[in-house]
């Protein structure tokens, strides 16, 4: 058995694909598992792998036997002049809120990630960038790809709440000279940093790693579920655009546009976050199990982290605002200069406290993990706080829901009506809403005092 199989069997794998990219003997392939997630599969000849190189294991971000995000961040950014550190956010030099005037309409939030990728390309700091774009393949609606032009970068805007993996693009970068920027979720950024330590070529060729703040990733069933919610046939889902913007809605009511079927069954339709998508996402439906072991919210190994400005003054505005947290000195200069000058960006500085407030729910969830030490090799979250019992129970139910929802989706053959009547899921959902009610009551005094404090600040 290959050593990476143990990571998969324990449920820690996030399907990032780095193991398959770097296997010197090409003995791993990334394929769909029955839960609609990516998983490394051993191809012939892995029998004695574990005794030999173990490179797949050394670049895997999902177990605790490699340097964690704090150590990696310290090595990368800890010595920069003016750098600061918080356990919740990792290292940072500066933080901004705002948007790119040209990229906002086609961006997930303020379009700052696309603007930055374009700026890196246009300034010659890189020759190509690896982004995630939509495909025409119904079996794989999104994929990582190498973009050489501004047009390609613009076509890859918005977020993919859909599994994507880096095996092909990393192999491309390993085989092709050049300077590349790569954008990824926190797990991918960590995997790149681990791989850069082993392959100097990757260190030279990827001078910029950009990260997306992440609550969690979903299996491909999530896209099918959205399609079914909108009345489409999930067996015939052909395209999905996550995070369309409806200018009659606040930014927080995200749009999801799907295309399913053909001929008389063809449907193009937008479903909104509040049509049931948000509830499913927040309750852990189809969540990748490995995400339950990750406590990196702000992509701590990335040169810049991009996120939504989930703050009261921004989330009501339908066009969207980005928050960016910068760790790399060159990126800080690039964005700082542009922010002051060209008129293409509308950015203002924002305090780290506000950045954290914008992700409060995610911080609470990801950095107050319930898993006991024996459940996971990753122990970093014990640096933070011990979760309250109720919070732990809620997290445990999310975990069970993520498991049961995948099983039920398959069992009921993607039939939404039958899925909604699934006994196990109904029982878990009832338990979850009961615990959430208790949590609201417990948190009421805190919420009231927070409101009073905010009101006093405004006076
Ligand atoms: C699974 C997931 C969970 C997220 N969770 C949160 C959260 O909890 N809180 C929060 O504030 N923000 C979260 N984000 C980030 C948020 O959705 C936006 O991506 C971010 O605000 C950047 O917006 P933008 O307008 O600047 O980016 P855009 O200009 O739209 O550019 C986005 C860039 O990210 C790339 N991309 C999209 N999806 C992926 C992916 N899956 N993997 C790698 N690259 C990708 C695109 O190719 C594009 O280049 C999440 C994103 C994803 C994909």
Between the CA of 120 and the centroid of ligand 1 the distance, in Å, is 18
What is the number of the ligand 1 atom nearest to the C-alpha of 158?
30
Between the CA of 122 and the centroid of ligand 1 the distance, in Å, is 21
Between the CA of 350 and the centroid of ligand 1 the distance, in Å, is 20
Measured CA to CA, the distance from residue 236 to residue 138 in angstroms comes to: 8
Q: What is the mean pLDDT of residues 35-55?
A: 82
What is the number of the ligand 1 atom nearest to the C-alpha of 106?
30
368 φ/ψ angles, rounded to the nearest 5 degrees? -125, 50
Chain centroid to CA 281: 13
Instruction: Report the nearest-CA residue for atom 20 of ligand 1.
Output: 307
Contact assessment for residue 104 and residue 111, using Cβ atoms and an 8 Å cutoff: yes
What is the number of the ligand 1 atom nearest to the C-alpha of 362?
8
Q: Please give the torsion angle defined by the CA atoms of residues 381, 382, 384 and 388, in that order, rounded to the nearest 10 degrees.
A: 100
Residue of 189, 212, 278, 364 to mutate, ligand 1, most atoms within 8 A of C-beta: 212
Structure tokens at 338: 């542009």
Q: Count of residues for the chain?
A: 459
Contact assessment for residue 38 and residue 17, using Cβ atoms and an 8 Å cutoff: yes
284-307 pLDDT tens trace: 999 999 998 888 999 999 999 999
Name 218's bridge partners. 287
More confident position, 208 or 379: 208
372-381 pLDDT tens trace: 444 444 556 5
Measured CA to CA, the distance from residue 378 to residue 67 in angstroms comes to: 10
Mean pLDDT over each residue of the chain, to the nearest integer: 92
Contact assessment for residue 432 and residue 440, using Cβ atoms and an 8 Å cutoff: no
* Ligand 1 shell residues, CB under 6 Å: 103, 107-114, 117, 131-132, 156-161, 164, 183-185, 212-215, 217, 306-308, 310, 322, 359, 362
Measured CA to CA, the distance from residue 424 to residue 404 in angstroms comes to: 7
Structure tokens at 408: 């039920």
Report the pLDDT value the prediction gives residue 147, as an integer from 0 to 100. 98
Between the CA of 385 and the centroid of ligand 1 the distance, in Å, is 27
Between the CA of 22 and the centroid of ligand 1 the distance, in Å, is 25
Report the pLDDT value the prediction gives residue 1, as an integer from 0 to 100. 64
Whether 445 has a pLDDT exceeding 90, the answer reads no
Report the pLDDT value the prediction gives residue 383, as an integer from 0 to 100. 45
% of the chain surpassing 90 pLDDT: 78
Between the CA of 245 and the centroid of ligand 1 the distance, in Å, is 14
Could you tell me what percentage of the chain is helix, strand and coil, using 3-state DSSP and rounding each to the nearest 5?
45, 20, 35
* Torsion sign, CA atoms 317, 162, 407, 237: positive
Q: Which of 31-45, 125-139, 340-354 has the highest mean pLDDT?
A: 125-139
Residue 47 CB contacts under 8 Å (≥ 6 apart), including other chains: none
386-435 pLDDT tens trace: 666 788 788 889 999 999 999 999 999 999 999 999 999 999 999 999 99
Exposed, middle or buried, 40 (CB in 10 Å: 0-12/13-18/19+)?
A: buried
118-149 pLDDT tens trace: 999 999 999 999 999 999 999 999 999 999 99
Whether 355 has a pLDDT exceeding 70, the answer reads yes
Structure tokens at 65: 């036997």
Residue of 38, 143, 159 to mutate, ligand 1, most atoms within 8 A of C-beta: 159
Give the CB-side neighbour count of residue 76, counting CA atoms within 13 A: 33
The DSSP line for 347-404 is: EEE--HHHHHHHTHHHHHHHTS----GGG-S--GGGGS-PPPHHHHHHHHHHHHHHHH
Structure tokens at 100: 């790119």
Between the CA of 306 and the centroid of ligand 1 the distance, in Å, is 7
pLDDT band of 364, cuts 50, 70, 90: confident
The DSSP line for 312-346 is: HHHHTSTT--EEEEE--HHHHHHHHHHHHTTSSEE
Contact assessment for residue 84 and residue 352, using Cβ atoms and an 8 Å cutoff: yes
Between the CA of 451 and the centroid of ligand 1 the distance, in Å, is 29
Measured CA to CA, the distance from residue 333 to residue 414 in angstroms comes to: 49
Between the CA of 252 and the centroid of ligand 1 the distance, in Å, is 14
Name 73's bridge partners. none
Least confident of 13-22, 340-349, 408-417: 340-349
Residue 186 CB contacts under 8 Å (≥ 6 apart), including other chains: 69, 211, 212, 213, 214, 294, 296, 297, 298, 299, 300, 301, 302
DSSP letter, residue 268:
E
Measured CA to CA, the distance from residue 434 to residue 392 in angstroms comes to: 14
What is the number of the ligand 1 atom nearest to the C-alpha of 113?
26
Between the CA of 438 and the centroid of ligand 1 the distance, in Å, is 32
Whether 315 has a pLDDT exceeding 80, the answer reads yes
The DSSP line for 193-207 is: HHHHHH-HHHHHH--
pLDDT band of 248, cuts 50, 70, 90: very high
| Residue in the structure block whose two tokens are 């990750």 | 294
Residue of 108, 116, 217 to mutate, ligand 1, most atoms within 8 A of C-beta: 108
What is the number of the ligand 1 atom nearest to the C-alpha of 309?
11
Least confident of 234-248, 424-438, 442-456: 442-456
Between the CA of 212 and the centroid of ligand 1 the distance, in Å, is 5
Structure tokens at 228: 């079914």
Contact assessment for residue 391 and residue 366, using Cβ atoms and an 8 Å cutoff: no
Report the pLDDT value the prediction gives residue 145, as an integer from 0 to 100. 98
Least confident of 212-226, 257-271, 335-349: 335-349
Instruction: Report the nearest-CA residue for atom 41 of ligand 1.
Output: 160
Measured CA to CA, the distance from residue 115 to residue 103 in angstroms comes to: 6
Report the pLDDT value the prediction gives residue 185, as an integer from 0 to 100. 98
162-204 pLDDT tens trace: 999 999 999 999 999 999 999 999 999 999 999 999 999 999 9
């Amino acid at each position: 058995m290959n050593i990476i199989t143990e990571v998969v069997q324990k449920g820690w794998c996030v399907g990032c694909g780095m193991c398959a990219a770097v296997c010197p003997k090409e003995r791993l392939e990334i394929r769909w598992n029955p839960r609609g997630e990516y998983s490394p599969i051993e191809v012939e000849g892995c029998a004695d792998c574990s005794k030999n190189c173990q490179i797949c294991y050394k670049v895997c971000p999902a177990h605790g036997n490699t340097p964690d995000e704090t150590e990696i961040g310290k090595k990368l950014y800890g010595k920069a002049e003016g750098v600061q550190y918080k356990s919740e956010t990792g290292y940072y030099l500066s933080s901004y809120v705002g948007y790119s005037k040209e990229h906002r309409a086609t961006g997930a939030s303020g379009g700052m990630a696309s603007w930055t990728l374009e700026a890196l390309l246009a300034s010659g700091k890189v020759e190509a960038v690896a982004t995630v774009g939509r495909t025409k393949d119904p079996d794989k609606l999104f994929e990582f790809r190498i973009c050489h032009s501004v047009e390609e970068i613009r076509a890859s805007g918005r977020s993919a709440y859909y599994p994507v993996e880096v095996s092909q693009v990393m192999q491309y970068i390993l085989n092709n000279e050049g300077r590349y920027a790569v954008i990824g979720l926190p797990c991918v950024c960590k995997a790149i940093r681990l791989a850069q330590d082993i392959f100097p070529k990757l260190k030279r060729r990827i001078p910029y790693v950009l990260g997306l703040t992440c609550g969690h990733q979903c299996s491909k069933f999530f896209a099918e579920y959205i399609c079914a919610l909108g009345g489409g046939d999930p067996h015939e889902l052909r395209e999905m655009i996550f995070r369309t913007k409806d200018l009659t809605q606040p930014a927080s009511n995200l749009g999801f546009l799907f295309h399913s079927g053909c001929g008389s069954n063809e449907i193009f339709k937008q479903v909104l976050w509040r049509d049931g998508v948000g509830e499913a996402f927040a309750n852990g439906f189809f969540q990748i199990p490995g995400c339950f072991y990750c406590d990196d919210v702000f992509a701590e190994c990335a040169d810049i982290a991009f996120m939504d400005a989930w703050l009261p003054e921004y989330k009501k505005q339908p066009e969207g605002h980005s928050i960016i947290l910068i760790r790399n000195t060159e990126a800080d200069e690039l964005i700082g200069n542009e922010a002051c000058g060209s008129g293409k960006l509308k950015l203002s500085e924002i305090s780290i406290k506000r950045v954290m407030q914008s992700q409060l729910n995610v911080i609470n969830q990801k950095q107050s993990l319930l898993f006991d030490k024996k459940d996971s090799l990753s122990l970093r979250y014990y640096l933070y706080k011990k979760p309250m019992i109720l919070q732990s129970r809620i997290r445990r139910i999310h975990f069970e829901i993520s498991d049961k929802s995948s099983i039920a989706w398959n069992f009921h053959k993607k039939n939404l009506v039958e899925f909604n009547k699934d006994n196990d899921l109904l029982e878990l959902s009832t338990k979850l809403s009961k615990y959430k009610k208790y949590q609201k009551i417990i948190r009421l005094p805190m919420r009231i005092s927070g409101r009073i404090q905010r009101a006093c600040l405004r006076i």
